[in-house]
Amino acid sequence: AGLLVGGTGGVLVAGGAGGAGEPEGVVVAQGQLDPLPGWEAGGEAVVEETADGTRELVVTLEGGDGLEGYREVWLIDREVSRLVSLGVLEGGEGRFVVPAGLDLAEFPVVDVSDEPYNGDPSHSGDSIIRGLLDT
């Protein structure tokens, strides 16, 4: 019986880690992501706050074929002058921790870009989809 309980606990822990699309907390912001010129794509961004106060940005992307590199997820200010990279989007869906202290009212724009494999960590200037979070 102890093995069964341990096995079940393992399954629950693994299930709790979950896929990117599983709800993890309360939705605190969301927005539609629209294609930029030259791209046929769309998506959605949802910010969830977990019980411990961690905020996670869940990004879904449909389309966006024809990449020259990899897809990177950014939070950007309204003037599109300051930006924070959250990480690489692998596949059509990803979950990214929003840094503690980052004010989503100051960085409400979600952007997914096509980044070349050139070692330059700055934004390529080639955005696939972008949208404004409704906070």
In a domain, 113, yes or no: yes
In a domain, 16, yes or no: no
Domain region containing 109: 22-132
In a domain, 54, yes or no: yes
Separation CA 132–CA 135 (nearest Å): 9
Q: Residue 66: its pLDDT value, please? A: 87
User: Quick one: DSSP state of residue 120?
Assistant: -
CA-to-CA dists, residue 6 to 13, 16, 19, 40, angstroms = 10, 15, 22, 47
Please give the tally of structural domains in the chain. Answer: 1
In a domain, 108, yes or no: yes
The pLDDT mean for the chain works out to: 86
Q: Residue 112: its pLDDT value, please? A: 98
Q: What's the pTM value of the predicted model, to 2 decimals?
A: 0.81
Mean pLDDT of 2-13: 34
